[in-house]
Homo-oligomer: A and B are copies of this chain.
């Protein structure tokens, strides 16, 4: 809608929401027709993609959102959220501090896995054999982006991340029923096989690699997949922050204070007694 001084009205431009006094439409749908008629995952899809997914597509998205909600107080994001409320922040500030940490290394793995899968998919669409394309793109990833292949292996979960096999089987069901094409499932399997071979032992797909398969099959691009991961992980962030609010600690640091830290610099203090 335009007003005089269209350069000011044009400064912000969006196809997501239209508003007039008493009216709100999201992607063309009046909000009162959406509330109570679409699920939260359907709404997430509608807002980010512009159209409504089928119920099956929405359910698959929902699986990925449920799967990634939390990984405990050892995750930097969760630790930051818990410390934040002991500093006086409300859940919005705790969530902000935490989600900020879901960056390239902590939350970016899913985005990067989508990117790697997409490189392989493009090669396959151009005629390459999926296993060969996978090997080539793993090489390219390591040359351009570094040695860590996103989506596989886990520092903690041995033999494997329990969230990945479950997600994989749900994606495979969805591929069988034609909800998704299944071509990224094939890519995921090929990547798994290639990495196991190169390593000489299993490097099982983890939560990032598995949710990335869901997002790639459903057509969500990498940077948007990171946003969805943040939305999912925010659930754990809020839960932990809320729980910490009830624990009445003040200014809680990362470790029990008596352990302090190791000082490696000049002119250390020599305490009289240890």
Contact = CB atoms under 8 A, between A and B. Distances in A.
Nearest to A19: B72
A254 interface: yes
Interface in A30-47: 30-32, 34-36, 38-41, 43-44, 47
A166 interface: yes
A231 interface: yes
Per assembly, the copies of the chain total: 4
A157 interface: yes
A245 B17 CA distance: 17
Q: Which 10 A-B pairs have the closest CB atoms?
A: A15-B265, A28-B267, A88-B104, A254-B254, A91-B227, A28-B266, A96-B100, A87-B106, A12-B73, A88-B103
Interface string A174-186: 0000000000000
Contacts of A7: 256
B100 A100 contact: yes
Contact of A92 (B103, B243, B256): B103
Interface in A218-274: 223-224, 226-228, 230-231, 234-236, 238-243, 245, 247, 250-269, 271, 274
Interface of A: 1-3, 5-32, 34-36, 38-41, 43-44, 47-48, 50, 59, 62-63, 65-67, 69-77, 79-80, 82-84, 86-93, 95-97, 99-108, 111, 155-163, 165-167, 170, 223-224, 226-228, 230-231, 234-236, 238-243, 245, 247, 250-269, 271, 274
A186 B25 CA distance: 29
Contacts of A21: 156-159
Contacts of A105: 86-88, 250-251
Given A3-B274, A97-B97, A12 B79 contact: yes
